[in-house]
């Protein structure tokens, strides 16, 4: 009997993370929905998955806190007994000109965006079995396309891309693939768009529109599938041609 695969998606109470959780559930995964504070959003994501016939659980915890991650992975092990996929989606924005950045902002951005990714990946590497699995990290187009006021955010995402390549090399012999996706502008409640801004951003992409969370979710679902089994150590630009 084929075992149902299991995924953890961090920061999955809204936006891209929620879309990824629903997409993976639609592909037959049991999904752990991690969230930091948006309980209602996480609950809605779980309910949507269960309504569609899947199985999911919601677990609160900030990814930069080792104890919270331990509880998340233990809950997954207790409920489903296995782990196949980790999507490191949790992150915080850090928009500010250089002159306004202070040590507290730097510490928070790197703690959530980078430390959280590394700690979660460490636990996933321990939990994924001998048949292997997949880790997908969320980067950003800003890691390779500089923009004013984004130096701190871009620095965290550049570090994620470097770590992705290194982890792919380190974990490959254990059949664990590690990739990252690097979205351009994606319309979420974190990036609300009026008609003027939507038109401006759309004009910058080859496909003449702004990204949607489902666009990113579908690419991640491919990367963690058997069809993506020969892809590792890659940073996949998921930006509709923004960087052409």
Q: Residue range 170-193: average pLDDT? A: 91
Mean pLDDT across the stretch 161-184?
98
How far from the centroid of its chain's Cα atoms is residue 213's Cα? 11
User: By C-alpha distance, which of 34, 48, 16, 41 is closest to 219?
Assistant: 16
Q: Are 85 and 130 in contact (CB under 8 A)?
A: no
Q: Supply the pLDDT for residue 1.
A: 67
**Residues 111-145 pLDDT 10s:** 999 999 999 999 999 999 999 999 999 999 999 98
Three-state secondary structure call for residue 35: strand
Cα(242)–Cα(129) distance, rounded to whole angstroms? 37
pLDDT in tens, 25-73: 999 999 999 999 999 999 999 999 999 999 999 999 999 999 999 999 9
C-alpha distances (whole Å) from 201 to each of 57, 147, 205 are 36, 14, 7
How many other C-beta atoms are found inside a 10 Å radius of the C-beta of residue 227?
10
Question: Domain 6-231 maps to which CATH number in 3.40.50.720, 1.10.10.60, 3.30.56.10, 3.40.1370.10?
Answer: 3.40.50.720
Task: Specify the pTM.
Answer: 0.96
DSSP state of 145: S
Catalytic residue (choose from 128, 153, 177, 182): 153
Secondary-structure percent of the chain, ordered helix, strand, coil, rounded to 5? 50, 15, 35
* Rounded average pLDDT over 189-217: 88
Sheet of 176-183, strands arranged across = 56-60, 30-35, 6-9, 85-88, 133-138, 176-183, 235-238
| Rounded Cα–Cα distance for residues 150 and 166 (Å) | 24
Indicate if 153 belongs to the active site: yes
Q: What is the average pLDDT score of the chain?
A: 95
| Backbone φ and ψ of 204, nearest 5° | -90, -10
Percent pLDDT > 90 in the chain is: 87
- CA-CA-CA-CA dihedral for 162, 228, 176, 108, to nearest 10: 40
135 with 124: CB under 8 angstroms?
yes
How many C-alpha atoms does 217 have within 13 Å on its Cβ side? Answer: 19
Residue the block writes with tokens 């470097």: 162
Here the tokens at position 98 are 């250089």
**pLDDT tens digits, one per residue of 1-22:** 688 999 999 999 999 999 999 9
| Predicted local distance difference test score (pLDDT) of residue 148 | 93
Q: What is the mean pLDDT of residues 162-170?
A: 98
Tell me the pLDDT band of 188, cut-offs 50, 70 and 90.
Answer: confident
Residue 192 clears pLDDT 90, i.e. is over it = no
Better-scored residue on pLDDT, 196 or 191: 196
CA pair distance 233, 178, nearest whole angstrom:
6
pLDDT at site 59: 98
Task: Name the more confident of 122 and 204.
Answer: 122
User: Domain-by-domain residue ranges, the chain?
Assistant: 6-231
Which pLDDT score, from 0 to 100, does residue 194 have?
82
Work out the average pLDDT over 82-110: 96
Using DSSP, state whether 137 is helix, strand or coil: strand
């Amino acid at each position: 009997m084929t075992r149902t695969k299991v995924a953890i998606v961090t920061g999955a109470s809204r936006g891209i993370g929620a879309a990824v959780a629903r997409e993976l559930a639609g592909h037959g995964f049991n999904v752990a929905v991690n969230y930091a504070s948006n309980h209602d959003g996480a609950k809605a994501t779980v309910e949507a998955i269960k309504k569609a016939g899947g199985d999911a659980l919601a677990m609160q915890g900030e990814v930069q806190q080792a104890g919270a991650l331990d509880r998340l992975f233990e809950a997954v092990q207790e409920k489903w007994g296995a782990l196949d996929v980790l999507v490191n989606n949790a992150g915080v924005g850090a928009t500010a000109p250089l002159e306004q950045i202070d040590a507290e902002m730097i510490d928070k951005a790197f703690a959530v965006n980078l430390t959280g990714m590394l700690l979660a990946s460490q636990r996933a590497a321990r939990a994924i079995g001998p048949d292997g699995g997949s880790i997908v990290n969320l980067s950003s187009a800003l890691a390779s396309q500089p923009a004013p006021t984004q130096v701190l955010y871009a620095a965290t995402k550049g570090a994620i891309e470097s770590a992705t390549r290194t982890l792919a090399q380190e974990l490959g012999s254990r059949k664990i693939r590690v990739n990252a996706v690097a979205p351009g502008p994606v319309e979420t409640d974190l990036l609300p768009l009026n008609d003027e801004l939507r038109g401006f951003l759309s004009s910058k992409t080859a496909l003449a529109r702004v990204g949607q969370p489902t666009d990113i979710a579908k690419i991640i679902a491919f990367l963690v599938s058997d069809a993506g089994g020969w892809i590792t150590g890659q940073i996949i630009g998921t930006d509709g041609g923004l960087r052409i």
